[in-house]
Amino acid sequence: MPKKKKMKSPKTRGKSDIFKSGYEFVGLVKKINKKMIVIPDNKKENIGAIYLEDCPEKYDNHKAIIRLKSKKNGQIKEIIGPAGKYQTEIKALLIGHNLPENKYDKYSSEIKELSSNWSDRIQKEITTRKDYRQIPTFTIDPTSAQDFDDALSVKKLEDDIYEIGVHIADVSFYIKPDSDIYKQIIKQNFSIYLPSKTIHLLPKIFSEQICSLKPNEDRLCLSIIFKIDTAGQIISADLEKTVIKSKKKFSYQEAENIIDTKRGPHFKELKILNSLANKIRQKNIKKGMLPLEEAKKDFTFNNQGKIIAINSKKRLKTEKMIEDFMLLANRQVAEIINKNNKKNHLYRIHDNPPIDKINQLAQILKNFGLNFPAKKMETSSLVLGDFLKNIDNHPQKEIIHKLVIRSLAKAEYSSKNIGHYGLALKDYCHFTSPIRRWPDLIIHYLLKDIINKNQTTKIYTLGAKSRGNNTNLLRSSLRPAEPCSVIPILAPRFGNENVKKHFHFTHSTSLIKIGLNEENISRANEREIEIAEIERRALKLKLIEYLSDKIGFKSQGIIVAITSFGFFVEEEETGAEGLVRISNLKGYYHFDEKNLQLTSKGNRKYSLGDKIKIRLAKVNTINGWIDFELVD
């Protein structure tokens, strides 16, 4: 019996894989000239049309999994469903990228074993951890959130000093790197968030129950405990193994309302967090963090998963607040690992902007009447940050931010550190979302290794400047009787001998076991792009479904991209992006690639950022197309 060829992610398929007998792919079955053929969904595979053997005509216009028998012939392995239907298209996308929804079905016994008696295991583990259950702690997430990675706690230490805890679910306590479950985690890399549905990275019982920081439940965490003064200055930061009990589950809007109305549960703590976050954010922006924002829409779905309302999404104070503390924790963890285990690290890096894109952006922004300092910002984000602050009240701020984002390099994961341009940081990693991101789970394993080798629940580092009389506060938290790892920045305060006494750089985490290698890092970067595209495509299919009975609908839009075959317009009410084809414009148009403009002989010009009146002409659920026409 021939060995079955497993479906591979498109990015991992080599030329040697294609055209082999038994090779599988996803495509659209069509009847053409009385013959049944299949057109591959992934055009990059360059397979071309394949003739199907023994294919009933009833499968015309269906998506299917095809198995090749030769270069030009294949047979249907499985019918996915009628093309153009949302469920069919999403399933085809997932199968085509080797992202099965039922990946954990055959590991039910291992899931049961790892999750058995989990409440008892937590209670037993509590005695080995720092207990934060009595300190006001809560989660703040989107209304639709099902898994809760992070929680914040607030405790007043002195009149102008607060202890802020960033508590992250300790997934590594339950998921062992030598398990079959972990192998599946490495394959998927990230949770997939589809409209009204989530394909979790972890088995559901871990994502939504055992690891999730649900209110009024004891939960294990890895925590960064900051001491911060009222000016937003970081005095110290400790990494600890903790147990917490969240007192409240807030949505972003609920927490925002409490801050605005100055009344409601945990108002005092929320007010403190918001004030500190604002000051930390302003310090970061002054250092070069880019204050970029992209306009988004908020979608409401009914029980059938159909869009029933679309509203402009305002970025709330509480969203920024949570982001600020997560960035702070990620930065601190990156520094801890960098100092203790620099050879074994998984950084989140962001390269300097590509010169050609920045020069083109400068040319385009001239059309907005803006002088863009391209040469000065190639290596420093400070100049770009100042530019963005100066256009804060510009009437075309949204499209300018969109163009800047497109011109920047893409952030990615790497074992080699080059810093993070957009955040203006030397060291950065992802630590705060281990329920939904494999790279974060890797960071947790590395932190556990550092903790275990130092035989302590605590690792110390220092934020920045000393505060004179607060020296005793910092010094008293170091207990020489307990071995710990002290970051070199503490040397001037405690003396080299004391520092050396607390250094322990022997690490035995098996990189093979946790999968920290170049192949898996490269796969994570590819998966991130693939999953973002799947999520984008899924939302567009829902928008097409919503718009399908609105053909002829007139509205306004803004030109967001220009090509030789037309320009793409973002419709203002729905955020749907569609194409105005050059073939539907009156007259002959020339494409100016340098300025990204279309110009007619009569000097009619279309440029990025132009606001125009449009009519919805047609939609195509199979290809995911939306076509607009101009309204004269």
Q: How far apart are CA 196 and CA 40, in angstroms?
A: 28
> For the residues of 600-621, what is the DSSP string, one character each?
ETT--EEETT-EEEEEEEEEET
Q: pLDDT tens digits for 223-268?
A: 999 999 999 999 999 999 999 999 999 999 999 999 999 999 999 9
Tokens encoding 554? 């007139």
Q: Write phi, then psi, for 26 (nearest 5 degrees).
A: -105, 140
Residues of the chain predicted below pLDDT 70: 1-21, 455-510
Question: Positive or negative CA dihedral for 336, 341, 343, 345?
Answer: negative
**Among 246, 247, 273, 248, which residue's Cα sits nearest to residue 259?**
273
* DSSP-derived secondary structure letter, 630: E
**Among 610, 605, 612, which residue's Cα sits nearest to residue 628?**
612
Interior CA angle at 382 toward 376 and 384, to 5°?
65
For the entire predicted model, the pTM comes to: 0.88
Amino acid identity for residue 221 in this structure: C
Residue 325 and residue 164 in contact, taking contact as beta carbons nearer than 8 Å: yes
CATH topology of domain 548-630: OB fold (Dihydrolipoamide Acetyltransferase, E2P) (2.40.50)
Residue 532 and residue 525 in contact, taking contact as beta carbons nearer than 8 Å: no
Q: At what angle do helices 86-96 and 518-547 cross, to 10 degrees?
A: 170
Q: Write phi, then psi, for 561 (nearest 5 degrees).
A: -160, 145
Return the pLDDT at 437.
98
Tokens encoding 6? 């497993």
**CATH, domain range 10-96:** 2.40.50.640
Rg (CA), the chain: 27
Helix (H, G, I), strand (E, B) or coil at 394: coil
**Among 509, 410, 434, which residue's Cα sits nearest to residue 189?**
434
Q: How many other CB atoms are there within 10 angstroms of residue 79's CB atom?
A: 16
Question: What does each C-alpha distance from 250 to 191, 195, 257, 270, 271 come to in angstroms?
Answer: 22, 21, 11, 11, 14
Q: At what angle do helices 381-390 and 397-407 cross, to 10 degrees?
A: 170
Q: How far apart are CA 515 and CA 521, in angstroms?
A: 9
Return the pLDDT at 504.
30
Residue 138 and residue 248 in contact, taking contact as beta carbons nearer than 8 Å: yes
CB-based contacts of 623, cutoff 8 Å, min separation 6:
none
Question: Positive or negative CA dihedral for 358, 359, 363, 369?
Answer: positive
Q: How far apart are CA 351 and CA 173, in angstroms?
A: 33
Return the pLDDT at 478.
28
Domain residue extents for the chain: 10-96, 105-349+423-533, 355-408, 548-630
Q: How far apart are CA 481 and CA 495, in angstroms?
A: 17
Q: How far apart are CA 313 and CA 293, in angstroms?
A: 12
Q: How far apart are CA 147 and CA 490, in angstroms?
A: 37
Question: Positive or negative CA dihedral for 468, 132, 324, 247?
Answer: negative
Q: How far apart are CA 629 and CA 16, in angstroms?
A: 44
